[in-house]
Chain A
Amino acid sequence: MKSIFKNHNVLCLLFIGLLFASINACKGTEKENVSPEKIPTSTKIKGTINAELTSAPNVPEPVGNRTAKRILLSMEVLEETSEMMNGVSYTYWTFGGDVPGKFIRTRVGDEVEFTLKNHPNNKLPHNIDLHAVTGPGGGATSSFVAPGHEVKFSFKTLNPGLYIYHCATAPVGMHIANGMYGLILVEPAGGLPPVDREYYIVQGDFYTKGDYGAKGIQPFDMQKAIDEDADYVVFNGKVGALTGDNALTANVGETVRLFVGNGGPNLVSSFHVIGEIFDKVHVEGGNLINEDVQTTLIPAGGAAIVEFKVDVPGTFILVDHSIFRAFNKGAIGMLKVSGDENKKIYSGKIQEGIYQPEGGVIQAIPQKEQATTKVIQKTLSERIASGKQKYMETCFACHQSEGQGVANVFPPLAKSDFLNADKKRAIRTIINGLSGEITVNGNVYNSVMPSQALSDEEVSEILTYVYSTWGNNKTVVSPSDVKAVRNEH
């Protein structure tokens, strides 16, 4: 008991000491007075500015060192039909025409004068609940607005952090499910530390009459939404909003900060970037910083700020690591990083081969002394049959059962100009392996084939089989042909 008291006293002293230190620190600088309490109700407002609002994935300029200001902000609610994925359209309800809504960037102590406009062509009333607002409904009570009307309300940003905003008009779930959400950032005094790139991403789940990919205009499906049975789970409102030409970009050596929200309405996101580790995560968008994080959980109606330095070039895939959502429901984005390779950090593929745990043919093992096998005379058809069997054991995994190969990865053996042009090269390829760029039937392949530990007879039979079928030129390869190539050097 006594010792606990002692510790407590020490802690108190420490705390008082810190308090003094921070007061002194404030006196010592010319900067505006940053009160040590978290609630800066008394922060002085200096000047008025119009808010800069951006569409995802872009974010407005950082607040930097600016003082707290009065911010005039106007947002328009639009009900619009646009594309969910190729050939699939959906009627979105939006803050500003896009899903997610416009990104709002403020600093702590700002006074935001918010005008919400409901477009005259809209059918429905709407409002806005900003999680950054302290007050009933987060603004929803004051912002309820009929089509063709506008309302104004104001609030002071008291707590720094990254917050979701959303529509909260009945039926709330339906308004959110149709895309009415976005992010508002409240930076601390002095701003977040500068980084090289900042992006804005919000995940959302969608419920449509037809299943994922069903063509045409897809209406909202209330029953699926209640059952939490999502057809689409996407970043930034649609499939492919962050892939291909829409991919995020960065250069090697830069630090990337992602403002990631989750609009829901139902699903929690396991946000992950494949091939990166988050150096810093502002857990749940708040002040707690976690470091060296692989996957961060983002609740529905919540957010997180993640930061990482990109060290190597390549495409990094953003996913909800509830992974079927990524592969089957659209929760995929891309970050393309360009710059020089750093082989120390990541080597790229050094070697690859087929791994067969039991017996079979293992790639690139040291060549045994060729056992002198008794040569049994086989007919051509026996040799082909035997070659086929060996092919199915050794070659089939890559070159496939009909010699068709795999597009862009493994070249075809069927009707292959590369194969038919040069028997010796074919033998060499099997016994020595082959890497680098080759052109087969007009397509370029740049891949690696490991050397195969096969006897002369086996090589000859496989090749004879391959040459005999799939429209190839019926070249017959004998074991002595293989031996000759082996002895080339």
Chain B
Amino acid sequence: MAFIEGGSYAPLYRNDENNTKETVGDFYMDKSAVTNSAFSLFLEQFPQWKKENIKSIFAESNYLSHWENEFEADAPVTNVSWFVAKKYCESQQKRLPTMAEWEYVALADQNQKDARSEPSHNQYILDWYESPKARSPKKVKSTFKNKWNVFDIHGLIWEWTYDFNSVLISGESRKDVKTDRNLFCGSGSVDANDLMNYAAFIRYAFRGSIKANYCIQNLGFRCVKDLK
């Protein structure tokens, strides 16, 4: 795993209006996303999560649907629900990263821990979001390694976060009236912090569209671990 030294940053959306900074502590993060082969070992250990055994509220019918055809063992596992991803990490004495942690790591490019001001980095991320038909993701570690020694944070798959569905929900519902969880039309920009950060807009919109039982062709995950 890669050591991530904590810090703070201004996220695109923040939960607390009075606090413009998001602070994360130190943690370890998997250098790459969980692969098909690692996931199949997990299923041997916990057969109740196999496709034929899983309870339908925990995953949609297309759970692991890419396993019906040939697939790359070293590619990230996708078509997995949030419930399963969470369980996998727990089985390894790890957990899913929070959105704040994931976004913090995702600020980095090869050379800097916060590369948001690099137009080429932004364009790289957007290019991936824009290129269609990623039917089968490539092997893990096939894209770049960032400053934290973490691979493929952009350019390979979408990744689950622990609190993916908390975007724009403050916990106090009266505060939410001026925004909209679904980010449609202009309301998506009302509370945004950095209007040029289209890549982040896209990630938040994606997270807003999913539910915990969804299984999606290019949505996988990686785990993190707290310092002892």
Residues of A within 8 A of B (CB): 78-81, 91, 120-125, 127, 129, 137, 140-141, 144-149, 168-172, 174, 178, 219-220, 222, 226
30 A-B residue pairs with CB within 8 Å: A78-B132, A79-B130, A79-B132, A81-B132, A121-B134, A123-B128, A123-B129, A124-B205, A125-B206, A127-B184, A129-B185, A137-B182, A137-B184, A140-B184, A140-B185, A144-B209, A146-B210, A146-B214, A147-B216, A148-B214, A148-B217, A170-B183, A170-B189, A170-B205, A174-B198, A174-B202, A219-B130, A220-B130, A222-B126, A226-B196
Q: Is the CB of A222 within 8 A of B184?
A: no
Q: Which single member of A80, A140, A168 contacts B132 (CB below 8 Å)?
A: A80
Cα–Cα, bound, A59→B130 (Å):
30
> B residues within 8 A CB of A147?
216-218
Whether B202 lies near A170 (C-beta < 8 A) is yes
Residues of B within 8 A of A121 (CB): 132-135, 217
Q: Mark B122-149, 1 if CB is under 8 A from A, else 0.
A: 1100111111111100000000000000
B204 within 8 A of A: yes
Asked if residues B184 and A91 are in contact (CB atoms below 8 Å), the reply is no
**Interface status of B180 (Cβ within 8 A of chain A):** yes
**Bound: A23/B151 CA distance, A:** 73
- Closest CB of chain B to A77's CB: distance in Å? 11
Q: Would you call B201 an interface residue if the criterion is a C-beta within 8 Å of the partner chain's C-beta atoms?
A: yes
Q: A140-B185, A148-B217, A169-B184 are in contact. List 17 more A-B contacts (CB 8 A).
A: A78-B132, A79-B132, A81-B131, A91-B131, A121-B217, A123-B130, A137-B182, A137-B184, A140-B184, A144-B182, A144-B184, A148-B215, A174-B198, A174-B202, A178-B130, A222-B126, A222-B196
On chain A, the residues within 8 Å of B135 by CB distance are 121
Contacts of B122 in A (CB 8 A): 222
Contacts of B214 on A, CB cut-off 8 Å?
146, 148-149
Is A123 a contact of B218 with CB atoms below 8 Å?
yes
The 10 closest A-B CB pairs, nearest first, are A125-B209, A170-B188, A79-B132, A170-B183, A140-B184, A146-B209, A171-B201, A168-B184, A170-B205, A168-B185
Min CB–CB distance A477 → chain B (angstroms):
68
Chain B contact residues, CB within 8 Å of chain A: 62, 122-123, 126-135, 158, 180, 182-186, 188-189, 196, 198, 201-202, 204-206, 208-211, 214-218
Roughly how many angstroms separate A121 CA and B216 CA in the complex, as a whole number? Answer: 9
**Which residue of B has the minimal Cβ distance to A219?**
B127
Q: Which residues of B contact A81 (CB under 8 A)?
A: 131-132
CB of B49, distance to nearest CB on chain A (Å): 20
Given contacts A80-B132, A170-B183, A172-B188, contact A146 B198 (CB under 8 A): no
Decide if A171 touches B185 in the complex (CB within 8 Å): no
Chain A contacts for B186, CB-based, 8 A: 172
Q: Measured between alpha carbons, how far is A169 from B180 in the docked complex, in Å? A: 11
Nearest Cβ on chain B to A239's Cβ, whole angstroms: 20
* A110-B91 Cα distance, complex, nearest whole Å: 54
B188 CB contacts on chain A under 8 angstroms = 170-172
Q: Is the CB of A124 within 8 A of B129?
A: yes
**Complex contact B189–A123 (CB within 8 A):** no
A85 CB to nearest chain B CB (Å): 19
Give the docked Cα–Cα distance between A457 and B128 (Å): 74
A178: chain B residues within 8 A (beta carbon): 130
A24 to chain B, nearest CB (A): 45
Question: Which residues of A are found within 8 Å of B209, using beta-carbon distances?
Answer: 125, 144-146, 169
Question: Contacting A125 at CB < 8 Å: which of B131, B133, B208?
Answer: B208
Check A170–B184 contact: CB distance below 8 A. yes
- Nearest A residue to B186 via CB reads A172
Decide: A129 near B184, CB < 8 A? Known: A146-B214, A147-B216, A148-B62: yes
**Given the complex of chains A and B, what is the CA–CA distance between A219 and B218 in angstroms?**
21
User: Which residues of the partner chain A approach B189 to less than 8 Å between Cβ atoms?
Assistant: 170
Taken together as a complex, chains A and B put the C-alpha atoms of A24 and B133 apart, in Å, by 60
Closest Cβ of chain B to A151, distance in Å, is 10
B130 adjacent to A91 (CB under 8 Å): yes
Q: Shortest beta-carbon distance, A155 to chain B, in Å?
A: 16
- Write the chain B residue with the least CB distance to A137: B184
Q: Which residues of A contact B211 (CB under 8 A)?
A: 146
Chain B residues whose C-beta falls within 8 Å of the C-beta of A146 in the assembled complex: 206, 209-211, 214, 216
Tell me how far the C-beta of B124 lies from the nearest C-beta in chain A, rounded to whole angstroms.
10
Interface centre among A91, A171, A172, A178 (most CB of B within 10 A): A171
Q: How far is A122 from B196 in the complex, measured between Cα atoms in Å?
A: 23
Contact across chains for B202 and A140 when beta carbons are under 8 A apart: no
A76 to B: closest C-beta gap in Å = 13
Bound complex: CA of A120 vs CA of B214, how far in Å? 12
Tell me the bound Cα distance from A147 to B215 in angstroms.
9
Q: Which residues of chain A come closer than 8 Å to B126, judged between CB atoms?
A: 219-220, 222
Q: Please, how many angstroms separate the alpha-carbon atoms of A333 and B62 in the complex?
A: 45
Q: How far is the CA of A125 from the CA of B182 in the complex (A)?
A: 10
A125 to B205, CA, bound (A): 7
Residues of chain A contacted by B208 (CB below 8 angstroms) = 125, 144
B186 to chain A, nearest CB (A): 7
A141–B183 alpha-carbon span in the complex (Å): 9
Within the complex, the shortest CB–CB distance from A387 to chain B, in Å, comes to 62
A474 and B215 CA atoms in complex are apart in Å by: 84
